[in-house]
């Protein structure tokens, strides 16, 4: 089929390359002409495994083309996928300006019967709004607007697109859902489940799915706090919980809080929809607050338990919001850094992929090329992103490099054992000690003044 993809970001570029892989003719467009030019020269705007090869292969066959005219892209397509950004407004709701601008620019050039599929993550009711917006400009043309939410993760975008858990299609008429089913026929043949429903339901599936996943993370992070307070180990507790097939083991890794361009923004938008429509989502409202507070609490823990002197320095390992990506949007690592800096603490940070993106926010002196360089002269060291490389760090070399001795592993990646620490004091997330348990049993105390369980070192 002839398909158009509006937007050449994480979702747009992955969608475009994967649609070509599924056998479609694809034209991908973006308002950022410089971005398109870099992509045409094989210089992709993000670090994403498998994507450069897929883009190159399908550009070479001619199945995938790039162009800057949004209206021309839509004019030659039977199905137009909208994948532009949907950032947060100050009240948490979604800023629909990019989606509306995209629909406005192609409204007059759609062909008869074109299906517009909104892949950007949007609040319930957006497809209806875009239907009305296009209808006002398209002078009686037959077209439809469907919801086709995307569930890929950064760092495994191609694999997630090609082997999804499900495909969700929200449509208001059988022809539209049939056209979209046709696009994904190769995946349906491989057994991928389909949900065909209304546009409102499809929009809600996307927001509620992200809220549910974020809730699992928020929950396990609170379990981690409890483990620290009573001398437990969240890694075993998570394993034990996750083996219950009704709960499932994924998204139960305790850490510094969820970040990225999606969970924070999408939970805010979901909660804002609830407030706006009189169905307040208390659980998610609380989750957002707890996640926002977590990084500041962890920074305080580093300063107190790490005994950081005034104007001291902390080494940071990892800036990306998770491993496998160079994306630093709403990264927990950056939130911890902001909190430390606001208290006069100096920073030396390393990341294997995200340094270029971090340059926009941090000075050249704060960014270093190796983890050992980040540790050099530091009063404390934090592992903030779970890059596999950090698991093989040599504790002896870290100990020699650092001025202080406190290492905070907020991702539980360091495999160091007691007796191999070379004088370092390692604190893992959600891992308490026998000593902490005894303190709790004896005094019933071990609390910080804000009522949260105190963080043992
Ligand atoms: P992005 O910022 O990486 O890319 C968006 C692209 O759209 C940019 O290249 C921008 O120049 C382009 N654009 C903006 N306005 C345009 C217009 N009017 N016409 C044409 N192009 C325009 O964003 P992203 O991370 O790919 O996310 C896009 C959407 O998909 C968001 O709604 C997001 O919530 C959702 N989503 C993202 C992911 C993810 O992992 N990043 C996964 C699932 C869903
Ligand atoms: C997430 C969802 O997983 C995708 O399904 C969805 O399509 C996407 O958002 C979106 O809507 O845009 P992504 O943001 O790429 O994907 O990353 P995740 O792997 O979900 O991680 C999000 C955050 O949660 C990261 O900060 C990560 O470190 C954290 N996390 C994740 C944990 O702290 N613990 C876990 O067990 C899992």
Each residue's pLDDT tens digit, 366-414 = 999 999 999 999 999 999 999 999 999 999 999 999 999 999 999 999 9
Cα 257 from chain centre: 11
With beta carbons less than 8 A apart as the criterion, state whether 385 and 411 touch. yes
The pLDDT score that the predictor gives to residue 420 is 84
The whole-number pLDDT of residue 419 equals 84
Q: CA 396, CA 158: separation in Å to the nearest integer?
A: 39
For residue 418, the model assigns a pLDDT of 84
Q: Is the pLDDT of residue 443 over 90?
A: no
Are the C-beta atoms of residues 28 and 8 closer than 8 Å to each other?
A: yes
Ligand number, closest to the Cα atom of 321:
2
Q: Is the CB of 258 under 6 A from ligand 2?
A: yes
Banded model confidence at residue 441, pLDDT cuts 50, 70, 90: low
260 lines ligand 2 (CB under 6 A): yes
State residue 55's pLDDT score. 98
Band of pLDDT at residue 101, cut at 50, 70 and 90:
very high
Atom in ligand 1 nearest the alpha carbon of residue 327: 41
Contact criterion met (CB below 8 Å) for 384 and 332:
yes
* Residues contacting 219, CB < 8 A, separation 6+: none
How much is the average pLDDT of 422-439? Answer: 83
Tell me, what DSSP letter sits at residue 341?
Answer: H
User: 170: part of which helix (H) or strand (E)?
Assistant: strand 167-170
- CB of residue 153 inside a 6 A radius of ligand 2: yes
**Average pLDDT of 100-116?**
96
| Res. 445: pLDDT tops 90 | no
Cα distance between residue 412 and residue 424, in whole Å: 16
Read off the pLDDT of each residue in 421-437 and give the average, rounded to a whole number. 86
The whole-number average pLDDT for the span 138-162 is: 95
Residue-wise pLDDT for 231-268, tens only, equals: 999 999 999 999 999 999 999 999 999 999 999 999 99
Distance 67 CA to ligand 2 centre (A): 31
Residue 453's pLDDT band, with cuts at 50, 70 and 90, is very low
Distances from the Cα of 190 to the Cαs of 1, 20, 25, 166, 186, in angstroms? 19, 17, 21, 11, 7
440, 230 in Cβ contact below 8 A? yes
Give pTM, 2 decimals: 0.94
Residue identifier of the C-alpha nearest atom 34 of ligand 1 = 121
132 CB-side CA count, 13 A: 4
Give the other-Cβ count within 10 Å of 56's Cβ: 13
Residue minimizing CA distance to atom 29 of ligand 2: 258
Torsion of CA 75, 77, 81, 82, to 10 degrees: -10
How far apart (Å, rounded) are the C-alpha atoms in residues 317 and 328?
Answer: 13
Is ligand 1 within 6 A of the CB of residue 98? Answer: yes
Is 273 near ligand 2, meaning CB less than 6 Å away?
Answer: no
Distance between Cα 20 and ligand 2 center (Å): 26
**CA 319 to CA 334: how far, in whole Å?**
6
Give the per-residue pLDDT at 434: 64
């Amino acid at each position: 089929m002839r398909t158009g993809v509006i937007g050449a970001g994480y979702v747009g570029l992955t969608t475009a390359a994967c649609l070509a892989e599924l056998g479609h003719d694809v034209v991908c467009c973006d308002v950022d002409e410089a971005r398109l030019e870099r992509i045409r020269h094989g210089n992709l705007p993000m670090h994403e495994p498998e994507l450069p090869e897929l883009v190159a292969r399908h550009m070479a066959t001619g199945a995938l083309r790039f162009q800057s005219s949004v209206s021309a892209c839509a004019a030659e397509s039977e199905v137009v996928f909208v994948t532009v950004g949907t950032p947060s407004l100050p009240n948490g709701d979604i800023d629909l300006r990019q989606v509306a601008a995209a629909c406005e620019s192609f409204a007059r050039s759609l062909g008869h019967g074109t299906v517009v599929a909104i892949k950007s993550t949007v609040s319930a009711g957006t497809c209806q709004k875009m239907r009305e917006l296009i209808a006002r400009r398209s002078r009686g043309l037959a077209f439809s607007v469907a919801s086709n939410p995307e569930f890929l993760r950064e760092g495994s975008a191609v694999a997630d697109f090609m082997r999804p858990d499900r495909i969700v299609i929200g449509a208001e008429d059988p022809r539209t859902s049939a056209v979209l089913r046709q696009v994904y026929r190769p995946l349906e043949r491989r057994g991928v489940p389909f949900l065909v429903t209304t546009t409102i339901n499809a929009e809600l599936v996307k927001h509620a799915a992200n809220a549910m996943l974020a809730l699992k993370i928020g929950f396990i992070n609170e379990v981690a706090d409890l483990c620290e307070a009573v001398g437990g180990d969240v890694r075993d507790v998570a394993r034990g919980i996750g083996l219950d097939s009704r709960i499932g083991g994924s998204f139960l890794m305790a850490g510094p809080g969820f970040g990225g361009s999606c969970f924070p923004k999408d939970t805010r938008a979901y909660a804002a929809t609830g407030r706006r429509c009189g169905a307040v989502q208390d659980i998610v409202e609380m989750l957002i607050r707890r996640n926002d507070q977590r990084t500041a609490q962890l920074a305080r823990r580093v300063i107190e338990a790490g005994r950081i002197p005034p104007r001291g320095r902390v080494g940071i390992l990892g800036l990306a919001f998770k491993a496998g990506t160079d994306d630093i949007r709403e990264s927990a690592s950056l939130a911890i850094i902001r909190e430390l800096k606001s208290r006069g603490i100096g920073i030396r940070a390393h990341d294997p992929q995200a340094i270029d993106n971090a340059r926009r926010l941090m000075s050249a002196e704060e960014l270093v090329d190796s983890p050992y360089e980040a540790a050099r002269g530091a009063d404390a060291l934090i592992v903030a992103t779970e890059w596999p490389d950090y698991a093989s760090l040599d504790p002896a070399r870290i100990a020699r490099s650092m001025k202080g001795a406190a290492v905070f592993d907020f991702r539980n990646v360091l495999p160091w054992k007691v007796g191999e620490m070379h004088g370092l004091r390692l604190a893992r997330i959600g891992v308490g000690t026998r000593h902490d348990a005894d303190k709790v049993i004896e005094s019933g105390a071990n609390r910080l003044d804000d009522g949260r369980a105190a963080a043992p070192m």
